[in-house]
Amino acid sequence: MEKPREWLREKSIAKQVLKDSNVILQVLDARIPFETRNKTVEQLAKERNKKLIFILNKSDLVDKSFLEKAKKELEKEYPTIIFSVKNNKGLKELLSLLRKIAKEKGIIKVGILGYPNVGKSSLINSLKRKKVATTSPKPGMTRGKQLIKLDENIFLIDTPGIITLEYPEDLALKGSWIPDKLEYPVDVAIKLLEKILEKKPDALEKAYKIKVDNNPVKTLENIGEKLNYKISGGDIDYDRVAKKILWDWLKGNLKAYWI
């Protein structure tokens, strides 16, 4: 399968953000924190001596006990902040951590990286709303880049770095690829259902008011029946059901999560 040209562009933006920042906020989807980590980013940050912080965003979609467990695991490696742009959670904690780092490091430039749809732009916007200083950056710091001054010593790179160098099928499982653009949405939906059936089947019961079946294909059919997604002749419209499930995953309507 050929990788779209836009991926290469995104890759270069992510690289640029990585290069320009000395503090990196890696935004993770709190539902699947370990699957939305990117080891390459972490490796590069380490090699270049950059501070990395995990932002466990969309925490409103998961249980508190799960969040604590995930945070504990993640913090073995990097500082982790439980965040929700939607519920306005974590911002104060993040700003105070950034101030602490700035105290040690002097001026810091904060870059935001993460898979598509994890909430990078939303995070940038909420940081911008909190900014305590004017937008004009210090001379010599801009060089044409968009930097937002958040505090005396804290600058935010206004463009997020998007991690896309994976196949659409894998990205869709992370809620990071438009389901309508998948070649075989049914295969991907079945894979996702397999995972949810293993980890948190009641999320399917809640979202679709169905009885779950251990068999993912049967579960997909049950969802199709419930939604009445049929083709002429009365058969299940597998493609349509698969896309609906993947959209619900992407939008956070399916509240399954796992480590």
Ligand X SMILES: Nc1nc2c(ncn2[C@@H]2O[C@H](COP(=O)(O)OP(=O)(O)OP(=O)(O)O)[C@@H](O)[C@H]2O)c(=O)[nH]1
Give residues in contact with ligand X (CB under 6 A).
57-58, 60-61, 84-86, 114, 116-122, 160, 162, 252
Q: How many CB atoms lie within 10 A of CB 135?
A: 12
For ligand X, the closer CB: 11 or 230? 11
Instruction: For residues 41 and 57, give the distance between their C-alpha atoms in angstroms, rounded to a whole number.
Output: 18
Please indicate if the annotation marks 128 as binding a ligand: no
Nearer Cβ to ligand X (192/220): 192
Which CB atom, from 4 or from 105, has the smaller least distance to ligand X? 4
Instruction: For strands 51-57 and 80-82, give the pairing.
Output: parallel
Exposure string for 232-253, b = 16+ CB within 10 A, e = fewer = eeeebbbbbbbbbbbbbbbebe
Say how far apart CA 167 and CA 174 lie, in whole Å.
11
State the minimum distance, in angstroms, from the CB of residue 107 to ligand X.
25
Is position 57 annotated in a ligand binding site?
Answer: yes
Q: Shortest Cβ distance from residue 55 to ligand X (Å)?
A: 10
Is 59 a known ligand-binding residue?
A: yes
Q: Which is nearer to ligand X, 34 or 107 (CB)?
A: 34
> Does 118 carry a binding-site annotation?
yes
Which CB, 79 or 252, lies closer to ligand X? 252
Q: Considering beta carbons, is residue 118 or 241 the nearer one to ligand X?
A: 118
114 is in an annotated binding site: no
As measured in angstroms, the least distance from the Cβ of 250 to ligand X is 8
- Smallest gap from residue 140 Cβ to ligand X (A): 29
How open is the CA angle 248-253-256, to the nearest 5 degrees?
Answer: 95
CB of 119 to ligand X, least distance (A): 3
CA 257 from centre of chain: 13
Asked whether the beta carbons of 24 and 16 are under 8 A apart, the reply is: no
Distance CA 180, CA 255 (A): 21
How far is C-alpha 18 from the chain's CA centre?
17
Q: Is 237 annotated as a binding residue?
A: no
Q: What is d(CA 190, CA 193) in angstroms, rounded to the nearest whole number?
A: 5
Query: Is 110 labelled a binding residue?
Result: no
CA-nearest of 132, 240, 49, 195 to 203 is: 195
Minimum Å gap between C-beta 162 and ligand X is: 5
Give the tokens for residue 242.
Answer: 């698969």
Instruction: List the binding residues for GTP.
Output: 57-60, 117-122, 161
